[in-house]
Amino acid sequence: MAVVTLDRLTKIYERGHAPAADSVNLEIRHGEFMVLLGPSGCGKTTTLRMIAGLESISSGTLSIDDRIVNGIPAKERDIAMVFQSYALYPHMSVKENLAFGLRRRAVPRDEIERRVAGVAATLGLTPLLDRKPHALSGGQRQRVALGRAIVRDPKVFLFDEPLSNLDAALRVSTRGEISALHRRLGATMIYVTHDQVEAMTMGSRICIMNGGKVVQVGEPLEVYRHPANIFVASFLGNPPMNLMPAVVSDDPGGRALRIGAWSFAVPAERMPPLPPNTNVIFGIRPEKISVAQAGGTHIEAEIVQVEPLGAETIFASRIAGVEKPVFARVGPDVAVKVGERRRLGVDLAAAHVFDADGKALHP
């Protein structure tokens, strides 16, 4: 177990170019499962590789348990890493792959045998110990890669998109296995992914990155429910949050918004009072839109696309004065057809309001 602290950690590959990681501040607590989440090129893998010691640090400090490790090589940081490509040594058997790191650390031979056997039994690899990696399936290779990290019993585990080469079903089960492993070992783990489902289901906390910078850090549901800006709002959730440009109307209270011909008042706990004619961005999650019953806040919309997924139905609709289609997620029994006009109910108690720069506004 270890605390990993990133203090203004920066990586610049080429002078004059934007930093790949830009003043990243983050503290990963003892036994925490921290997920670095973001789109491709957001700097999450660079940050992970700096923690691993595989990339030099341009500026800032990186500490593991209060010891600054900036200049300390990867092998002396007591970390283990699981790679996206598994990175199993193709010329070694599963057993040799598992033991390779221990042999370098002068662990006694019988201790290596015992630890390899233990990890192999835990991960169901015992019958495969003499096989070479090319004779394993994707899922088995992934387990060997996991085993290679576990057998070392490191202070910190690093994962670089370890599930992205697996098929959908295997991804779900391996997700569960990694979460169970975290619970069992109680180790500090840092996990890089661009998949929000992995982040939401596995992370103790999520660190969302964009353009090399940390955008928001928090527990998964907290980040989902209270996005700090429109990037987080639109990155988390599938379909993402509906975002519509709105203007504060001159109704008293300063919380009435106008989107095209549609006017409504946002509850006081969802936005601060603003002067009339202020441009804002109104956000609402798809699951907070329903096909309206009588009463409540509602708006006329034309259904333009319907995706019945079995357990739920997702549809897109056009609202007068809103450029982008508005997505809604409803129950499977709600019948909607492309082309029909429906009244959509909007749960304004779950509304989000952002300023013109995209930053969340809180009352």
Partner 1 sequence: MTKPLKHSLLIILLAGYTAFAAGPFVWVAIMSLRTTSEIMADHFALPTILHWEKFPIAWFNSNYNVYFKNSAMIVLAAVAILTIVGAMAAHCLARYRFRLNRVIYFVLFSTIIFPPQITIISLFQILVQYGLYDTRVGLTLVYVAIQLPLTIYILESFFARIPNDLFDAARIDGYSEWEIFWRVSFPIALPAIATTMILNFILLWNEFLYAVVLITDDANRTLPLGIQRFMGDQLEDVGMIATGLMIAIVPVIIVYAFFSEKLIQGMTAGAVK
Q: Of residues 6, 42, 80, 360, which one binds partner 1 by CB under 8 A?
A: 80
Please give the sequence-ordered ranges of beta strands (E in DSSP) within the chain, or none if there are none.
4-11, 21-28, 33-37, 59-64, 67-68, 79-82, 156-160, 188-193, 205-210, 213-218, 242-248, 256-259, 262-265, 279-284, 289-291, 298-308, 313-318, 326-330, 341-346, 352-355
CA distances from 338 to 244, 253, 315, 335, 354 (A): 22, 38, 9, 10, 31
Q: Which part of the chain contacts partner 1 (CB under 8 A), choosing from 72-80, 239-247, 272-280, 345-353?
A: 72-80
Q: Of residues 83, 113, 131, 314, which one binds partner 1 by CB under 8 A?
A: 83
CB-based contact 202:180 (threshold 8 Å): no
89 touches partner 1 by CB under 8 A = yes
Pick 52 or 350: Cβ nearer partner 1: 52
Binders of partner 1 in range 114-173 (CB under 8 A): 133-134, 148, 152
The minimum distance between CB 154 and partner 1, in angstroms, equals 9
The minimum distance between CB 220 and partner 1, in angstroms, equals 28
Helices 94-104 and 138-150 sit at what angle, rounded to 10 degrees?
20
Max Cα–Cα distance, the chain, nearest Å? 79
The DSSP string of 240-258 is TPEEEEEEE-SSTTS-EEE
Q: Of residues 31, 41, 101, 325, which one binds partner 1 by CB under 8 A?
A: 101
The minimum distance between CB 49 and partner 1, in angstroms, equals 8
73 touches partner 1 by CB under 8 A = yes
Task: Count Cβ atoms below 10 Å from residue 306 Cβ, excluding itself.
Answer: 16
Q: Of residues 21, 81, 223, 248, which one binds partner 1 by CB under 8 A?
A: 81
- Using DSSP's 3-state secondary structure scheme, residue 24 falls into strand
- Binding residues for partner 1, how many (CB under 8 A)? 26
The minimum distance between CB 45 and partner 1, in angstroms, equals 11
Answer positive or negative: Cα dihedral of 319, 262, 223, 179: negative
Q: Of residues 30, 105, 109, 362, which one binds partner 1 by CB under 8 A?
A: 105
The minimum distance between CB 71 and partner 1, in angstroms, equals 15
17 touches partner 1 by CB under 8 A = no
- The residues binding partner 1 (CB under 8 A) are 49, 52-54, 73-75, 79-81, 83-87, 89-91, 100-101, 104-105, 133-134, 148, 152
